[in-house]
Chain A
Amino acid sequence: MMKLNMTSRQQRRLWRHIGSIENFWETLAELEPGVIQRLAAIATERRWEVIFLTKRPRRQAHGAGPDQRWLASKGFALPSVYVVQGSRGRIAHALDVDIVVDDRPENCLDVVVDSKARAILVWREDESSCPRRRSASASAS
C-alpha cells in the first residue's frame, strides 16, 4: 500500500475530485479478495450482528449508500453501515459493541478509551512500523 503525504488543501482537492466521479466507491476492489463474502457467511452462520463504521469528510454527504452498495456488491447483503464523524469508541459504547476491528491505531485507541468493546488492529504494514512497537523501542532507547 502506498502512503501519500498530502497537505490539507491537497486532500480537499482529492476529495472534491472523488466526489465528481460517478459511482467511485463501487469501483474499488477489496484489499483482501473474498473477505467480505466470508464475513457475511460467518455472520449468518454464527448470527453475528455486524455494523460497518466508516468515516469520510463531512462535505461528502452521500450517507451510507455508497458503502452499502459496495458491500452488497462484494457479497454482504443488506449491510448496516454507520458513517462516523467522531470517536468510534463512543459509537461502540452507544451500540454496545463487543469487538471493533480497525486498520488505524488511533481508532482502536478511541475504542479502548471510550467503550467496553475490545479493539483488534489489522496492521498490514511491517510490524516494526506499528506505533506500539515504535513507542516501545523509543522508550527502551
Chain B
Amino acid sequence: MKTVGECLDILTQVDSPDAREQPGVLDRVMRLLGLKEPANA
C-alpha cells in the first residue's frame, strides 16, 4: 500500500458485510493483499 488511507480502503472492504457474504469478493481482496486466507482463519 502507498498510504494508510489505501490500507483503510482495503480493510473496510474485507470487513464489509457484503464481502463476508460473498467469499469471492473477500478472496479477491485477500489476493490483492497477497494473502491466501482470511486473517482470523
Q: Which residues of A contact B (CB under 8 A)?
A: 31-32, 35, 38-39, 42, 46, 48, 98-99, 101, 117-118, 120-124
Proximity bits, B1-14, A CB within 8 Å = 1, else 0? 11111011011100
B40 within 8 A of A: yes
Residue contact B2 to A38, C-beta cutoff 8 Å: no
- Please pick, from A38, A46, A48, A123, the residue contacting B5 in the complex, using a CB distance under 8 A: A38
**Total A-B pairs, Cβ < 8 A:** 43
Residue contact A121 to B1, C-beta cutoff 8 Å: yes
* Residue from A38, A99, A101, A123 with most neighbouring chain B CB atoms (10 Å): A99
Residue contact A101 to B39, C-beta cutoff 8 Å: no
Closest residue on chain B to residue A121 by CB atoms? B1
- Please pick, from B2, B4, B12, B39, the residue contacting A98 in the complex, using a CB distance under 8 A: B39
Task: Report whether over half of chain A's contact residues are helix, strand or loop; otherwise say mixed.
Answer: mixed
Residue contact B8 to A38, C-beta cutoff 8 Å: yes
Closest CB in chain A relative to B8 CB, distance in Å: 6
Tell whether A122 pairs with B33 under 8 Å between CB atoms, given A42-B8, A98-B39.
no
Q: Which residues of B contact A (CB under 8 A)?
A: 1-5, 7-8, 10-12, 15, 33, 35, 39-40
Closest residue on chain B to residue A34 by CB atoms? B5
Residue contact B15 to A46, C-beta cutoff 8 Å: yes
Closest residue on chain B to residue A124 by CB atoms? B2
Residue contact B8 to A35, C-beta cutoff 8 Å: yes
Residue contact B12 to A122, C-beta cutoff 8 Å: no
Q: Kindly list chain B residues whose C-beta atoms are within 8 Å of the C-beta of A98.
A: 39-40
